[in-house]
């Protein structure tokens, strides 16, 4: 199967910046170093855009601000360099007609390169997203939150856990080569299993930093055989590395640089560096 436009952009962004790092843009008004979240986001982007492969705006933090939040999201997306992947993190998913509207909003209106999608309403809820063949669709598989085990670890009649069934279905649905999975860094054994089931599929890996995910294990177990297509996301640990309005962007850059270096050290140790 040929690479989709989404995969080509992802691979290109990773190569250009020698990076598997994604920065999540979660502008929490209670924590941002400056009151204007557009100013905050633009400073973060300017400080880190040469060391990341993707940005992942979390839509909830923008939606919570009403119209001002939507205007902030618009300004934020305009500031992201066009060669860097954008992931709309809204975890959408509903009956087919509603999913079609969600997909249109995320891909056609906002212009995201990819989106996070819940697969738990089944194939007809996911297909409207996958139908946008040049866009990426990251299906929730094994999430990083503690409550993820309430459903995702349930054993099915075939003896396998539900999250493995999701991974297998994603492989079946990946006709256009634009599907991916979300697997948390807090569950490295499950991450390794998902990579076994989906050897070439991109995996978005949240949970590094504030959630305590294992960076080394996430890179080693989450990357493909050639050390690619693991998108290691960090949000709070980068965004809020400093609360000082004078140096928050510099602190964010330093935190992001340290993460990229940590990721690349793991790749180098396994002979999968960027040279």
112 touches 62 (CB < 8 A): no
CB contact burial 84-101 (16+ within 10 A = b; e otherwise): bbbbbbbbbbeeeeebbe
Structure tokens at 20: 């598997």
First CA to last CA distance, the chain = 26
Sequence-ordered list of residues with C-beta below 8 angstroms from that of 200, at least 6 positions apart, any chain: 224, 229
Three-state DSSP class for residue 141: strand
In sequence order, which ranges of the chain are alpha helices (DSSP H)? 5-17, 37-48, 59-63, 66-79, 96-103, 123-130, 149-152, 162-173, 188-197, 215-222, 236-239, 248-269
Write out the catalytic residue numbers: 91
229 touches 181 (CB < 8 A): no
User: How much is the CA Rg of the chain, to the nearest whole Å?
Assistant: 18
Structure tokens at 49: 């855009």
The residues with which 139 forms a beta bridge, in sequence order, are 117, 181
């Amino acid at each position: 199967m040929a690479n989709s436009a989404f995969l080509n952009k992802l691979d290109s962004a990773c190569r250009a910046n020698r990076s598997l790092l994604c920065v999540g843009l979660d502008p929490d008004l209670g924590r941002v170093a400056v009151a204007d979240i557009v100013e905050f986001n633009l400073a973060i982007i300017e400080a880190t855009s040469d060391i990341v492969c993707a940005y992942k705006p979390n839509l909830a933090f923008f939606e919570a601000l009403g119209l001002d939040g939507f205007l902030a999201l618009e300004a934020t997306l305009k500031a992201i360099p066009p060669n860097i992947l954008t992931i709309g993190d809204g975890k959408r998913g509903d009956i087919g007609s509603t999913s079609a509207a969600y997909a249109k909003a995320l891909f056609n209106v906002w212009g995201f390169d990819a989106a996070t999608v819940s697969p738990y309403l089944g194939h007809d809820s996911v297909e409207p997203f996958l139908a946008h063949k040049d866009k990426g669709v990251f299906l929730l598989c094994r999430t990083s939150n503690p409550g993820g085990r309430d459903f995702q670890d349930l054993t099915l009649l075939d003896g396998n856990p539900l999250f493995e069934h999701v991974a297998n279905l994603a492989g079946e649905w990946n006709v256009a080569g634009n599907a991916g999975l979300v697997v948390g860094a807090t569950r490295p054994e499950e991450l390794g299993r998902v990579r076994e089931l989906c050897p070439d599929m991109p995996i978005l890996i949240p949970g590094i930093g504030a959630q305590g995910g294992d960076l080394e294990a996430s890179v080693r177990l989450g990357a493909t055989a050639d050390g690619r297509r693991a998108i290691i996301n960090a949000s709070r640990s980068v965004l809020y590395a400093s609360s000082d309005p004078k140096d928050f962007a510099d602190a964010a850059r330093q935190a992001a640089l340290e993460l990229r270096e940590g990721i690349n050290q793991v790749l180098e140790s396994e002979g999968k560096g960027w040279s």
